[in-house]
Amino acid sequence: MPTLFAAASTKSIPVWFVTNETWKGLQGDLPKEAVAFATANGFSPMPGRHLVCPAPSGAIGCVLFGVEAFDKPGRDGLAPGRLASLLPPGDYHFANAPGATAQSSELAALSWGLSSYRFGRYGKNGQAFARLVPPAQVDAAGLARTVTAIHGARDLINTPTNDMGPSALEAAARQVATRHKAKVRIIKGDALLRQNFPLIHAVGRASDDPPRLVDMTWGPARAPKVTLVGKGVCFDTGGLDIKPSSAMLLMKKDMAGAATALALGEMIMGAKLNVRLRVLLPIVENSISGNAFRPGDVYKSRKGLTVEIGNTDAEGRLILCDALALACEEKPQVLFDFATLTGAARVALGPDLPPFYCNDDALAEAITTTAFAEQDPVWRLPLWDAYDAMLDSKIASLNNVSSGPFAGSITAALYLRRFIETGVSWAHFDIYGWTPSTKPGRPEGGEPQTARMLFALLKARYGSPRQKS
């Protein structure tokens, strides 16, 4: 169990969740000195407000934390995570449930763990977090696995490219595979051309750190096939259509799709879901040199469609389409891809609400319902067929960018759809992969958006542990 969680102890400090409606009734359950201290300090249970109440000995006796009304629709179930950094170091436990549903304690404990993160690779870590004794009704081991996977993905995203280039990201994927005894195959450099991954090669060939495809598999061959594809652009200059300097500042996070796929894969393998998991990570650095791919070039993709390059800064969809074509060759039951693909998605929905696109209405409904329940939000946007013609090319099967400035996230999804085979249930997530300012459960920095939600969905579908052979 991560050190941010604690084993049950008689010395742990109780945390009481209070609302305006419950505050008066709870006073009878609290020590008299705590009630007196709260009254003297003018405590009112506004959401987010906390008060540390002393015991007669002078030690901390209990903590009061205001939350939204238990029956409020859409209440912030992750709000208790703020306590991890607000409280003095020590061990704490929930004295009562933070909400009316059985899931409220699980979300609160999860948020505590997710909030207990700082990126410390380069020495600026310092803060000691308060530790939580997980509630008895919560699967503490599962909680720890989820938090560990999310923290690991954040570390990958937050690491600058000089320490997280293609070779380093491949090494990180190998470490995940080793932990779970998964099989890994790597196709690298010119071997990508020999094995028919021309677009991955074209995007990454200008870098000194060669392009590659990580192909990880785990689980019984006869189990339902679940495939994850993650965009692994370790840095994106924009290529010859070079970005302005301000747009390059966060491009270390352009591999957040790959980090998200690894985090979700780690949760699936750690829980031993009854699936045959495949994780495909096309990994490149979109650099500039004499052999960089150019605007106007035409390449034949793995699927056989020819692609005209309208813009070298739309490189993510190029590496994804070869990986998606490979994924579809074995007809998985479900196929998810993750990519920091378009600025248009941020303009439409902001950094915290990733759009997703799906060719299966039943799957899309399950994603939306689960995202709401897990407070890992997404919003479905349409695969609008009328916009498909915006990808037309006069000399190739299609262009990698649309012919105009509108609907950039939708046309990117439509581009990817061209490489999905009929009968494969597919969802594409256009994530931001970053939290601009700290929120409960989401510290500022890298974030594998959608991983928690999709794990919950897959666990509900394929939750029976796989049998030992």
Residues classed as catalytic: 243, 317
Beta bridge partners of 213: 187, 282
DSSP type of residue 385: G
d(CA 252, CA 158): 7
Q: Kind and range of the H or E element at 65?
A: strand 60-66
d(CA 443, CA 445): 6
Count of Cβ atoms closer than 10 Å to residue 58 Cβ = 7
Check: CB of residue 189 under 8 Å from CB of residue 211.
yes
Amino acid found at 89? P
d(CA 140, CA 142): 5
Check: CB of residue 111 under 8 Å from CB of residue 440.
yes
d(CA 325, CA 341): 18
- Which phi and psi angles does 44 have, rounded to 5°? -130, 140
Amino acid found at 335? L
Q: Which two tokens stand for residue 445?
A: 């920095």
Q: Is 70 exposed, middle or buried (0-12, 13-18, 19+ CB in 10 A)?
A: middle
Task: Please name the residues in contact with 200: beta carbons below 8 A apart, sequence gap of 6 or more.
Answer: 192, 211, 212, 213, 282, 284, 318, 319, 322, 323
Q: Is 103 exposed, middle or buried (0-12, 13-18, 19+ CB in 10 A)?
A: middle
d(CA 66, CA 45): 4
Check: CB of residue 429 under 8 Å from CB of residue 336.
yes
Q: Kind and range of the H or E element at 53?
A: strand 50-54
Q: How far is CA 435 from the centre of its chain?
A: 11
